[in-house]
Amino acid sequence: MQKDIATPIRTKEILNKYGFSFKKSLGQNFLIDPNILRNITGFAELTKDSGVIEVGPGIGALTEHLARASKKVVAFEIDQRLFPILEDTLSPYDNINIVHQDILEADLKTAIAEQFTDVDDVMVVANLPYYVTTPIILKLLEENLPLRGIVVMLQKEVGDRIAAKPGTKEYGSLSIAIQYYTTAETVMIVPKSVFMPQPNVDSAVIRLMKREKPAVEVKNEAFFFEITRMSFAQRRKTILNNLTSGLPNGKEKKEIILNALMTAGVDPSRRGETLSIQEFGALSDALLVSFH
């Protein structure tokens, strides 16, 4: 069995050998605890017929665990300096393909079609750089890729918002955008002490499993997301006030907004954070006629 990359000693050895220095701008924090990597891999429930997309493999700590558990790993890495390191650390594995590209610019539909011709399912598993967590997850979901799900480590606070339930202070338009496509749960909290360099905050591992169809059926998806964003524009305001200031000519059309709220069965004095995805769906459909 290959010796794990993710131990403090081995990580230091690798970084020293290549004279690697961390780039703050790329949000580089490497995991140095193999048990946590085994757990993350376990949460993805991979088989020898699974394909895996990884984002930001770093020096290959998580990559090797994914390679052991699956048929093939395709990892997107933006930092050219890591390529010689990855070639070295991952040399024992022949089922890994490292792509030098920003995941946000990648044509993932084509990549999946080309790279995973003979797999049963595709999962995204990654330790995401904090600064681009949300755009990456939203890209993966909005592009309607043939994924079974996503298991990612991210800042605990963002994880809390993604998995939040209505009526909590963490619940917002991000929770709705992600739970519209997936069932979301926090499966693990990861202390900041298991990273090198150590970040300022703890992390969480969240698991997002793709729904067969979205959580609610709406007439216009883009408008539905617009209404949810508007409803949280000022969290202390009522849903009526947020919509009145957010919708075009909302102040003149207050009666129309009130009627739509009544149609959707939503009390105008409620705040956005108390509405379920289903209520937002009914509300956006009721407003669509007059505002789109």
Binding-site residues from annotation for S-adenosyl-L-methionine: 29, 31, 56, 77, 102, 127
Angle between helices 277-291 and 173-181 (to 10 degrees): 100
**Closest among 260, 254, 262, 255 to 289, alpha carbons compared:** 260
Q: Could you list the residues known to form a binding site, using ranges.
A: 29, 31, 56, 77, 102, 127
- Cα distance between residue 182 and residue 210, in whole Å: 4
Q: Where are the alpha helices (DSSP H) in the chain?
A: 8-18, 34-43, 61-69, 83-89, 108-115, 133-142, 156-162, 173-181, 221-231, 239-246, 254-263, 277-291
- Cα distance between residue 148 and residue 146, in whole Å: 7
By the 8 A CB rule, do 74 and 51 touch? Answer: yes
By the 8 A CB rule, do 273 and 266 touch? Answer: no
- Cα distance between residue 10 and residue 30, in whole Å: 12
Q: What is the DSSP letter of 211?
A: P
